[in-house]
Homo-oligomer: A and B are copies of this chain.
Amino acid sequence: MKLYERLADEIEAAVRRGVFTPGERIASVRQASQQHGVSIKTVLHAYALLESRGILETRPQSGYFVRAKPDHRAAGRKRDGEAGAGAIAVAVASEVDVSRLVLLTLRSIRAHDAVPFGSPYPDTEPFPWRRINQYANAIARRHASWNLIDDLPPGNPELIRQIARRYAENGVPVDPGEIVITVGATEAINLSLQAVAKPGDTVAVESPTFYAMLHAIERLGMRAIEVPTHPADGIDIDALAQIVGEGKIAACMVMPNFQNPLGFQMPDARKRQLVDLLSMHDIPVIENDVYQELHFGDARPSTLKNYDTKGIVLHCASFSKSLTASHRIGWAMPGRFRAQVEKLKFLNTLTTPSVPQVAVADYLRHDGFDRHLRRVRKLYRQQARIMIAMVERFFPPGTRTSAPQGGYVLWVELPERVDSMLLYRAALSERITVGPGYMFSTRNAFAHYIRLNYSYPWTPQREAALQRLGQLVGELDARAKGART
- Chain A residues proximal to chain B, CB less than 8 Å: 99-100, 103, 106-107, 109-110, 119, 121, 124-125, 127, 129-130, 133, 136-137, 140-141, 143, 145-150, 152, 183-184, 186-187, 190, 194, 198-199, 215-216, 218-219, 221, 324-328, 343-344, 346-356
Bound-state CA distance A231–B100 (Å) is: 44
Contacts of A343 in B (CB 8 A): 99-100, 103
Bound-state CA distance A1–B29 (Å) is: 75
Say yes or no: A328 contacts B347, CB within 8 Å. no
Say yes or no: B137 contacts A121, CB within 8 Å. no
Contacts of A352 in B (CB 8 A): 328
Contacts of A355 in B (CB 8 A): 326
Contacts of A356 in B (CB 8 A): 353
Given contacts A109-B149, A326-B145, contact A184 B348 (CB under 8 A): no
Contacts of A325 in B (CB 8 A): 146-148
How close is A115's CB to chain B, nearest CB, in angstroms?
A: 14
Chain A interface, >50% SS class: helix
User: Interface centre among A133, A219, A344, A347, by most B CB within 10 Å?
Assistant: A347
Given contacts A184-B350, A349-B184, A350-B186, contact A147 B99 (CB under 8 A): no
Say yes or no: B121 contacts A148, CB within 8 Å. yes
> Lowest 6 A-B CB distances belong to which pairs?
A133-B140, A183-B349, A137-B137, A186-B350, A219-B347, A215-B347
Bound-state CA distance A109–B107 (Å) is: 42
How close is A299's CB to chain B, nearest CB, in angstroms?
A: 29
Say yes or no: B147 contacts A140, CB within 8 Å. no
Contacts of A216 in B (CB 8 A): 347
How close is A78's CB to chain B, nearest CB, in angstroms?
A: 27
Contacts of A103 in B (CB 8 A): 343, 346
Option from B141, B344, B346 in Cβ contact (under 8 Å) with A130: B141
How close is A302's CB to chain B, nearest CB, in angstroms?
A: 27
Say yes or no: A149 contacts B353, CB within 8 Å. no
How close is A110's CB to chain B, nearest CB, in angstroms?
A: 5
Bound-state CA distance A261–B100 (Å) is: 39
Given contacts A136-B136, A150-B110, A353-B326, contact A348 B187 (CB under 8 A): yes
Q: A110-B150, A328-B352 are in contact. List 6 more A-B contacts (CB 8 A).
A: A106-B149, A110-B152, A121-B149, A198-B221, A219-B347, A219-B348
Contacts of A215 in B (CB 8 A): 346-347
Say yes or no: B186 contacts A348, CB within 8 Å. yes
Bound-state CA distance A247–B100 (Å) is: 32
Q: Name 16 interchain pairs, CB-CB below 8 A, sorted by A.
A: A103-B343, A103-B346, A124-B143, A124-B147, A129-B140, A136-B140, A147-B325, A148-B325, A183-B350, A184-B349, A186-B347, A186-B350, A194-B219, A215-B347, A326-B353, A348-B349
Say yes or no: B137 contacts A140, CB within 8 Å. yes
